């Protein structure tokens, strides 16, 4: 018959529940008294069958199980309990033990093995060691979950960031991935426009379909039409076979039109027709073909200015600008630089089989002060160089490109254009407010103290300069 020495006791959150399985009544009683004094709530079972039922029905932290018992032995118990929803740590006991027996027990799922007769401290220390292991396992699981959540929070596709501005960009891109609407990605060169485009495609339901990137400025103008739409055999000299165009290659998936601002007006009208009618006509063919292609376009140009100057069709701009996504330059989100630096160090450690642990504070300070005209791509190249040159486990200032080390962000000739004192003051004010907010991790009260202005005045300037906090 199953017995329990704690059936009528209330289990507190700090107390550990323990099950003793042993065919010797004296051993069950001795362990109940001993471990009860150590703060454990102890239940007992007289054989493996009883122990298996109790282990399955009770939420035990630990099980002490004798190896040699009538009926179901300790080894049979170990094999049977693996098939049950039991999470307890199992420690085996035996007076007939050998090293081989201990190894076999641990291979079958036991955490440890105690030989009888054992000392009082031996049982207690074995349990404490098991507790510490379980505590470390739980902490490891918790930390992994935190890392996973952080990764989910700050990642989109292959991009990482922690600035509020980029979190908003990621949220918008994730929403765009759920629909087939046309997306226009804008931003300076090197900000990651193609990475966002890939993230949108590979996060959507058509991720298994083709993603076809095209640099609109990299194809000679006289070949653009045949590259985009394909051609029929005999359409022109050298057209020896029928050939699919890029739009047809992307059928069912996504075509990424990078630097679409470089596309000549003569082709813009034909791209507009594809967007309006979802059909193409290969060069030399009299028939059109239906296609189902999601278009994502990107440009480092201001297309609205291009429209005003007559270099870009207004109707095509409106067709492309259904879901606009703007990527800010790196100099406007310097809080992302430490995270990106760590990301690139990890990346190039794997590529070059190095073990760089991090970056020296003075080197990171240089990165934070740089203007980054090449944006994230320039930062990536700088870290790649630094990882290659680093002779120690830490990247130093000397490992960084000389152009970045020698740049002076406070040089007004670099920051201000023209001669307007009013404009210069506004640019400097915005720069100092962003700097103070970054230094205080967005705490506006502390930032106001650093800037020596009142809290209401700071709030007003944040609104006027459209600063994300």
Distance CA 373, CA 157 (A): 23
CATH topology match: 3-139 vs 331-406? no
Q: Domain ranges for the chain, please list them.
A: 3-139, 157-328, 331-406, 413-464
Dihedral-angle region of residue 407 (phi above 0 means left; psi in -120 to 50 means alpha; beta otherwise): beta
CATH ID of 157-328, from 3.40.50.10710, 3.30.420.40, 3.40.50.300, 3.10.580.10: 3.40.50.300
Q: Give the pTM.
A: 0.58
What is the architecture of the domain spanning 3-139? 3-Layer(aba) Sandwich (3.40)
Residues 6+ apart with CB under 8 A from 1: 46
Q: Which residue has the tokens 């990890």?
A: 346
Is the Cβ–Cβ distance between 218 and 256 less than 8 Å? Answer: no
In this structure, what token pair is assigned to residue 221?
């103008």
- Residue 255 tokens read as 């075509």
The CATH code that applies to domain 331-406 is 1.10.8.60
Question: Per-residue pLDDT for the chain (469 aa), expressed as one digit of tens each?
Answer: 334 443 334 445 568 899 999 999 999 999 999 999 888 999 999 999 999 999 988 789 999 999 888 888 888 898 888 888 888 899 988 876 667 777 888 888 888 888 888 887 888 888 988 888 888 888 777 776 665 655 555 678 888 888 889 999 999 999 999 999 999 999 999 999 999 999 999 999 999 999 999 999 888 888 889 999 999 888 888 888 999 999 999 999 999 999 999 999 999 999 999 999 999 999 998 899 999 999 999 999 999 999 999 999 999 999 999 999 999 999 999 889 999 999 999 999 999 999 999 999 889 988 988 989 899 999 999 999 999 999 999 999 999 998 887 654 444 444 455 556 667 777 888 888 888 888 777 888 888 877 888 888 888 888 888 887 6
Write down the CATH superfamily of domain 413-464: Homeodomain-like (1.10.10.60)
DSSP 200-225: HHHTSTTTTS-EEEEETTSS-GGGHH
What values do phi and psi take at 242, rounded to 5?
A: -65, 145
Listing DSSP states for 395-452 in one string gives E-GGGS-HHHHH--TT-HHHH--SS-HHHHHHHHHHHHHHHHHHHTTT-HHHHHHHHT
- Phi and psi torsions of 207, nearest 5°: -60, -25
């Amino acid at each position: 018959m199953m017995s329990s020495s704690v059936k009528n006791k209330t289990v507190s959150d700090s107390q550990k529940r323990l099950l003793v399985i042993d065919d010797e009544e004296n051993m069950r009683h001795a362990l109940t008294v001993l471990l009860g004094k150590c703060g454990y709530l102890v239940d007992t079972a007289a054989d493996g069958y009883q122990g298996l039922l109790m282990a399955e029905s009770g939420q035990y932290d630990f099980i002490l199980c004798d190896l040699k018992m009538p009926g179901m032995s300790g080894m049979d118990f170990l094999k049977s309990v693996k098939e049950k929803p039991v999470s307890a740590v199992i420690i085996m006991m035996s007076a007939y033990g050998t090293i081989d027996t201990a190894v076999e027990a641990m291979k079958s799922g036991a955490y440890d093995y105690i030989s009888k007769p054992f000392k009082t401290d031996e049982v207690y220390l074995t349990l404490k060691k098991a507790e510490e292991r379980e505590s470390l396992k739980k902490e490891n699981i918790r930390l992994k979950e935190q890392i996973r959540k952080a990764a989910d929070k700050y990642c989109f596709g292959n991009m990482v960031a922690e600035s509020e501005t980029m979190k908003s960009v990621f949220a918008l891109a994730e929403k765009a991935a759920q629909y087939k609407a046309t997306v226009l990605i804008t931003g300076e060169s090197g900000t990651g426009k193609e990475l966002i485009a890939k993230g949108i495609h590979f996060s959507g339901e058509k991720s298994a379909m083709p993603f076809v990137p095209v640099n609109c400025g990299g194809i000679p103008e006289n070949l653009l039409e045949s590259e985009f739409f394909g051609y029929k055999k005999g359409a022109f000299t050298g057209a020896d076979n029928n050939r699919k165009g890029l739009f047809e290659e992307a059928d069912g998936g996504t075509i990424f039109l990078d630097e679409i601002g470089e596309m000549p007006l003569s082709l813009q009208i034909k791209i507009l027709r594809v967007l309006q009618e979802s059909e193409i006509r290969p060069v030399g063919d009299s028939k059109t073909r239906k296609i189902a292609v999601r278009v994502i376009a990107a440009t480092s140009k201001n297309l609205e200015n291009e429209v005003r100057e007559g270099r870009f069709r207004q109707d095509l701009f409106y067709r492309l600008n259904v879901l606009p996504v703007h990527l800010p330059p790196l100099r406007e989100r310097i809080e992302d630089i430490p995270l990106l630096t760590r990301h690139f160090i990890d990346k190039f450690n794997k590529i070059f089989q190095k073990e760089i642990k991090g970056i020296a504070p003075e080197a990171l300070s240089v990165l934070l002060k740089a203007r980054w005209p090449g944006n994230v791509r320039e930062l990536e190249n700088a870290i790649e160089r630094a990882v290659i040159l680093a002779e120690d486990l830490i990247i130093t200032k000397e490992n960084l490109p000389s152009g970045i080390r020698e740049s002076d962000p406070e040089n007004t000739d670099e920051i201000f254009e023209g001669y307007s004192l009013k404009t210069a003051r506004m640019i400097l004010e915005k720069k100092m407010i962003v700097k103070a907010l970054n230094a205080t991790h967005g705490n506006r009260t502390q930032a106001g103290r650093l800037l020596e202005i009142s809290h209401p005045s700071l709030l007003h300037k944040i609104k006027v300069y459209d600063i994300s906090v």
